[in-house]
């Protein structure tokens, strides 16, 4: 099983949108597990049709298996997740061991993280084979990005494991119609070009609709949804390739 972690300590940058679509996408060809680590549970709502009775918080208590329900299985977020943010850091390794315990039942695991660098995010990073970081162009800050890269490195160093593959910064609600965003994007490409994922996800109504309707943009009608589908499937095609997932 290959684990992809979608992280950024900022909220509202499009993490959950990407994880939901990644789940739908990978489940077309792979046995897919999706883990909702954010107590706000937006992902558990959008992917409500695929919820396991196993709660994500269980994965921090002891190594826990999540029996597959079909090609897509989601562990649900609950407010109890906040409880793992106490002082005991042992739960970080328990979470990693839980994902390991599911290695034979799934081909891919996608993890949605809360907007904070806390035990849950560290657990995800410890279990990660690859990490992608959705970013907003509006509130782009070099400082935030440096912090994020430090966290990825720091967790690996602390636990003595190889660093996960960093797939890049992915502008995820990019408003091409905004001159300011276009300018900021060019600045970003100039300053951190090597860190950028080769692709963007534009700001489109279809994504917001996908979140509330619980279906991917490629199931929707209309030219906006079609463009969104081409764009986001292209992103996951690249992710698959770089993670060695095959078709």
Ligand X SMILES: Nc1ncnc2c1ncn2[C@@H]1O[C@H](COP(=O)(O)OP(=O)(O)O)[C@@H](O)[C@H]1O
Q: Which does 78 bind (CB under 5 to 8 A by kind): ligand X, Mg ion, none?
A: none
Candidates 2, 15, 76, 120; binder of ligand X (CB under 6 A) is 15
* Residue 76 in the binding site for ligand X (CB under 6 A): no
Q: Which stretch binds Mg ion (CB under 5 A): 9-17, 28-36, 120-128, 134-142?
A: 9-17
Distance CA 189, CA 194 (A): 8
Distance CA 119, CA 90 (A): 9
* Residue 116 in the binding site for ligand X (CB under 6 A): no
Candidates 57, 102, 204, 236; binder of ligand X (CB under 6 A) is 204
Q: Which does 207 bind (CB under 5 to 8 A by kind): Mg ion, ligand X, none?
A: ligand X
Q: Which is nearer to ligand X, 19 or 92 (CB)?
A: 19
What is the SS3 assignment for 196? Answer: strand
* Residue 16 in the binding site for Mg ion (CB under 5 A): yes
Where helices occur in the chain by DSSP H, the ranges are 15-26, 42-46, 90-101, 119-127, 142-159, 179-192, 205-213, 223-243
Q: How far is the CB of 26 from ligand X (least distance, A)?
A: 17
Candidates 181, 188, 203, 236; binder of ligand X (CB under 6 A) is 203
Distance CA 172, CA 213 (A): 20
* Residue 15 in the binding site for Mg ion (CB under 5 A): yes
Total residue length of the chain: 247
Which residue has tokens 């408003």? 175
Where helices occur in 128-222 by DSSP H, the ranges are 142-159, 179-192, 205-213
Query: Encoding tokens for residue 190?
Result: 């100039």
* Residue 21 in the binding site for Mg ion (CB under 5 A): no
Distance CA 56, CA 44 (A): 10
Q: List contacts with ligand X (CB under 6 A).
A: 11-17, 42, 172-173, 201, 203-204, 207-208, 211
């Amino acid at each position: 099983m290959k684990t992809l972690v979608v992280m950024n300590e900022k909220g509202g940058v499009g993490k959950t949108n990407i994880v939901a679509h990644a789940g739908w996408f990978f489940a077309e060809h792979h046995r897919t597990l999706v883990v909702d680590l954010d107590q706000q549970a937006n992902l558990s709502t959008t992917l409500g049709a695929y919820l396991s009775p196993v709660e994500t918080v269980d994965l921090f208590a002891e190594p826990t298996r999540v029996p597959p329900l079909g090609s897509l299985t989601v562990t649900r977020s609950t407010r109890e997740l906040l409880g793992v943010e106490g002082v005991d850091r042992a739960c970080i390794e328990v979470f990693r061991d839980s994902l390991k315990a599911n290695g034979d039942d799934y081909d891919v695991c996608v993890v949605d993280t809360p907007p904070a660098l806390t035990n849950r995010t560290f657990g995800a990073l410890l279990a990660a084979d690859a990490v992608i970081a959705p970013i907003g162009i509006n509130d782009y800050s070099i400082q935030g990005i440096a912090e994020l890269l430090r966290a990825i490195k720091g967790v690996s160093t602390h636990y003595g494991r190889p660093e996960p593959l960093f797939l890049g910064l992915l502008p995820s609600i990019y408003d091409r119609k905004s001159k300011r965003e276009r300018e900021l994007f060019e600045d970003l490409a100039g300053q951190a070009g090597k860190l950028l994922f080769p692709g963007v996800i534009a700001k489109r109504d279809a994504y917001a609709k996908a979140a509330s309707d619980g279906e991917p943009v490629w199931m929707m009608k209309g030219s906006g949804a079609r463009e969104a589908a081409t764009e986001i499937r292209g992103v996951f095609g690249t992710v698959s390739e770089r993670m060695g997932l095959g078709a």
